[in-house]
Structure 1
Amino acid sequence: MSVRDHITAGIGWREHQGDGPVLVALHGIGSEARAFDGVAAALPGWRVIAWEAPGYGPSTPLAMDWPVAADYATALAGFLDALSLTQVHLVGHSLGTLIGAAFARAHPQRVSTLTLASCAQGGGAQPGTLPAKQAARLDDLAALGAPEFARTRAPRLIFQPDQNPALVTAVYDGMSKIQLPGYAQAVRMLASGDLAADCAALTAPTAVIVGAEDIVTPPAQSQTAHAALPAAQRGALTLIPGAGHALHQQAPAALAAALRAQVHQGVTP
């Protein structure tokens, strides 16, 4: 499978080329496009496009200091327009679930299927008000710098980190690249997000998957998102044993299997 990195319309993106289903992947708050390499490798023939969210990698930050999920969804719509992609399969991980659900709510005709992995429920705060938990993220980043910040947090994303040092290193590599203002914008969006509210308004077939050992976004958060989905759109809720928060890196084959199941139920663009 050929892999190429691009920048289009101010967004960096990583493309795993293929002639099959088109999957757009949205990474989490401390991650990067490269984190989906294992999933793409388990989907031979698919065209997998993983973006670098606004303010991550080479991508231009959003214009506002306090964005909400809908602002990222607008950026995603512009990015897909620039690639002439009118309809895609969409997967979001962690913070990416908030973006994916907001996009599917605003642009239902553009989403064949949606898969939410390791759901971040959001804090439901009003923009302009940063709760203590989210404020602590930015304080820690300012005090430690990105590399040390990543060193302290990366092991929490992997189940049994001592037995999986290569996976911890992969998570660290992505997290150590976070930068301002992009990370601060994402933290503020997380603080104001409300995944369940967006899920309740979805019209695309939507599946949910989570690692059974996830201590960052515990399975209960993904179960809440799944329960909020309209019955007609509610796909599978899959619990993956032996996997932590970085599900796409610790259990890429399981996530790929869930994506294949979703595509078989939807319309392949």
Structure 2
Amino acid sequence: MTFEQHISGNIEYLERPGSIGGPVLVMLHGIGSNAASFTPLLDHLPRDWRVIAWNAPGYGGSIPLDAEWPLALDYAAALKDFLDRLELKRVLLAGHSLGCLIGAAYAAAHRERVVRLLLSSPALGHGVPCGGALSAAAQARIDDLQTLGPDGFAALRAPRLVFEPESNPEIVRYVRDGMARVSLPGYPKAARMLASGRLIDDAERLQVPTDVIVGAHDVVTPPDSARRAHAALRHPWRGAFTLVPGAGHALYQQAPVAFAAALAALAETVG
């Protein structure tokens, strides 16, 4: 099962059509990824679901944001415009890593449009003031891409996203191939957004049922960080916390069945 490729305004996205009246799931990829990375999930999701994965601004065929240092709210505004064009009023929303910063910012601002939110392998952000000195981690991302080029950048970073990479070469290759598609200026803009991100602040403001899932062996966004995000959610919006054994940061590639189960739980919320 595969996605169909589309463009709506300034956003390129992938879609698997569902049934009329069925749930609509929108998925937001991480900083070193893209919409196509969600393909392994399709065979594990109900066939009546309409599944949409966007390429964030500056990724794939999506036009970068104008700001040199965009904030999570800027990406959330782009997401709102995108969903408006598709005439989607209420969706199930799932973010992975950097996509959690976008998803939480969107859900905090537009709670009436999100049925339920999944934060997977959540990036908390570095809390750097916009326009200030970049965090070391964000600067290293930009420097590595500019110095090594996309292929070298991906070869350096991809194995770290997979638990026991030496035993999972196909998953590493899949992650590496997706990461090698990042480009300028989209990736540096996303890295700056990561630097200024403050997921905990948005988590505290959320008034949308929200679940958190993380790989037990994630060294990029460790389980302790995911627990912090989950603990910041307020009652009654705090949903399930799921720790997936045998998985690293590339959670939905390494454990698609467990990830799909977390997505399926989103549709249990009615309203």
Q: TM-score, normalised by structure 1?
A: 0.97
Q: 1:66 aligns with which of 66, 69, 72?
A: 69
Please tell me the residue identity of whatever aligns with 1:114: L
Bigger Cα displacement from structure 2, 58-67 vs 40-49 = 40-49
3-state SS of paired residue (1:207)? strand
Q: Is the 8 A contact 2:98 2:194 kept in 1?
A: yes
Bigger Cα displacement from structure 2, 41-50 vs 186-195 = 41-50
Q: How many residues of Structure 1 are paired with residues of Structure 2 in the alignment?
A: 267
Please tell me the residue identity of whatever aligns with 2:236: A
User: What do residues 4-34 of structure 1 show as CA deviations (whole Å, max 9, x unaligned)?
Assistant: 0011111010111211310000000000101
User: Are residue 189 (structure 1) and residue 205 (structure 2) matched?
Assistant: no
Q: Is the 8 A contact 2:2 2:42 kept in 1?
A: no
1:1-269 correspondence runs (5 A): 1=1, 3-19=3-19, 20-45=22-47, 46-129=49-132, 130-267=134-271
Shift in Å at residue 2 of structure 1?
A: 5.7
3-state SS of paired residue (1:145)? helix
3-state SS of paired residue (1:191)? helix
User: Equivalents in 2 of 1:43, 1:133: separation in Å?
Assistant: 34
Please list every run of 5 or more consecutive structure 2 residues that lacks an aligned counterpart in the other structure: none
Q: Is the 8 A contact 1:42 1:252 kept in 2?
A: yes
Q: Is the 8 A contact 1:205 1:266 kept in 2?
A: no
3-state SS of paired residue (1:209)? strand
User: Equivalents in 2 of 1:39, 1:233: separation in Å?
Assistant: 26
Please tell me the residue identity of whatever aligns with 2:251: L
3-state SS of paired residue (1:116)? strand
User: Equivalents in 2 of 1:254, 1:13: separation in Å?
Assistant: 24
User: What do residues 153-188 of structure 1 show as CA deviations (whole Å, max 9, x unaligned)?
Assistant: 000111011111110011011100100110011000
Please list every run of 5 or more consecutive structure 1 residues that lacks an aligned counterpart in the other structure: none
CA RMSD in angstroms comes to 0.9
Bigger Cα displacement from structure 2, 247-256 vs 185-194 = 247-256
Bigger Cα displacement from structure 2, 109-118 vs 1-10 = 1-10
The runs of at least 4 aligned residues of structure 1 exceeding 6 Å deviation read none
Bigger Cα displacement from structure 2, 118-127 vs 32-41 = 32-41
Bigger Cα displacement from structure 2, 38-47 vs 154-163 = 38-47
Please tell me the residue identity of whatever aligns with 1:39: L
User: What do residues 123-143 of structure 1 show as CA deviations (whole Å, max 9, x unaligned)?
Assistant: 011011212221111111111
User: Equivalents in 2 of 1:208, 1:53: separation in Å?
Assistant: 21
User: Equivalents in 1 of 2:254, 2:189: separation in Å?
Assistant: 27
Identity of aligned residues (%): 56
Please tell me the residue identity of whatever aligns with 1:17: P
3-state SS of paired residue (1:264)? coil
Shift in Å at residue 3 of structure 1?
A: 2.4
